[in-house]
Amino acid sequence: MRASPGILLNTPRIEIWPGGLLHARSNRDARLLARARHVLRRKRDGRYLAADLREGLQPLLPSLRHEPGIDDALAALRRVHERRRTGIDVVATLPLQRLRERLQALGLDDGYGERSGLPLVPEPDWLALAGFDRYRRPLWLHVDAARAWAHLREAALRDGVLLEAISGYRSHDYQLGIFERKLARGLSVDEILTVNAAPGYSEHHGGRALDIGTPGEPPAEESFERTPAFAWLCDHAAEYGFGMSYPRDNPYGIVYEPWHWAHAPG
């Protein structure tokens, strides 16, 4: 795979971001990130681990060599520098590592998928930059979904409708963090499961799901169904391979989500 400013390399524990997209958290990090070709970022908590500079890898924490998953990340980084052919490899998926550990952290067992009817969703081994979301965060999607989203958004704009991405790809670890933050606010796991799928079972993991909004409308609210943007999606999204995943009375026990649309594999 050739290095590209629009590719996020994904490994089970560590993401490899292209340089220039991450904000520095200290003056030292700012100097390194300004020169970095890539940045290694821990998926569990977003911690920056190392900057890939032209003169070599610069650790951003002293214990980098003991970081879980670092060997996989360094192997992926070497592939970036070793392979110079043009084009992008076929998207593969990561192994479903630590799934049981994540479920057990929430008091769930291996039967969650069968009970909910939700399939397991592995993460892609790389994702494409599909622009930026409403909050100016990089929007990462499966490359096929990224192309379809661009065409969908352009078509809507021609009809006078502005669609905004609220969120796209989420890792299994990020999904666990959503649960942990909501638990800290006093919600129960059962309450959270009506809104968020358990880690490993969210469509966002595959990089094909988008939460969509429109200017002036709060994110992820049922009121989105009363907007021209929602009406346009209902009429035209299928032409671009997108469908609403969680209509009213869906069989998964997920609340009605008029904002959540997923791209079907071609």
Residue 202 contacts residue 170 (beta carbons within 8 Å): yes
- Measured CA to CA, the distance from residue 4 to residue 136 in angstroms comes to 20
| The CATH number of domain 100-263, selected from 1.10.12.10, 3.40.980.10, 3.40.50.1100, 3.30.1380.10 | 3.30.1380.10
What confidence category does residue 83 fall into, taking pLDDT thresholds of 50, 70 and 90?
low
- Measured CA to CA, the distance from residue 83 to residue 75 in angstroms comes to 12
- Measured CA to CA, the distance from residue 174 to residue 179 in angstroms comes to 9
The residue behind tokens 């790389």 is 126
What's the pLDDT score for residue 145?
98
Residue 253 contacts residue 112 (beta carbons within 8 Å): no
**Of 248, 259, 42, which is closest to residue 167 (Cα–Cα)?**
259
Helix 228-236, helix 143-158: angle, nearest 10: 120
What's the pLDDT score for residue 82?
66
Q: How many CB atoms sit inside 10 A of residue 199's CB?
A: 27
pLDDT at 237 exceeding the cut of 50: yes
| Mean pLDDT across the chain | 93
Lookup: tokens for 239: 């032409």
Q: Domain coordinates of the chain in residue numbers?
A: 7-82, 100-263
What confidence category does residue 3 fall into, taking pLDDT thresholds of 50, 70 and 90?
very low
- Measured CA to CA, the distance from residue 81 to residue 119 in angstroms comes to 35
The residue behind tokens 């900057």 is 51
pLDDT above 70 coverage of the chain, percent: 95
Residues 7-17: tens digit of each pLDDT: 999 999 999 99
Range 191-219 average pLDDT:
97
pLDDT above 90 coverage of the chain, percent: 84
- Measured CA to CA, the distance from residue 115 to residue 107 in angstroms comes to 14
What's the pLDDT score for residue 226?
98
pLDDT at 33 exceeding the cut of 80: yes
The residue behind tokens 């649960």 is 179
End-to-end CA distance of the chain: 22
Q: How far is CA 99 from CA 3, 11, 81, 175, 183, in A?
A: 30, 15, 31, 12, 19
Give residue 250's Cα distance to chain centre: 23
What confidence category does residue 218 fall into, taking pLDDT thresholds of 50, 70 and 90?
very high
What's the pLDDT score for residue 67?
97
pLDDT at 26 exceeding the cut of 60: yes
What's the pLDDT score for residue 2?
38
What's the pLDDT score for residue 79?
82
Helices (H) and strands (E) in the chain, counts: 8, 11
pTM: 0.93
Residues 144-181: tens digit of each pLDDT: 999 999 999 999 999 999 999 999 999 999 999 999 99
Residues 101-145: tens digit of each pLDDT: 999 999 999 899 999 999 999 999 999 999 999 999 999 999 999
Range 215-232 average pLDDT:
97
What's the pLDDT score for residue 24?
80
What confidence category does residue 95 fall into, taking pLDDT thresholds of 50, 70 and 90?
very high
Half-sphere exposure of residue 184: CA atoms within 13 angstroms, side-chain side: 6
- For residue 178, the 8-state DSSP code is H
- Measured CA to CA, the distance from residue 219 to residue 214 in angstroms comes to 8
**Of 256, 193, 266, 261, which is closest to residue 232 (Cα–Cα)?**
261
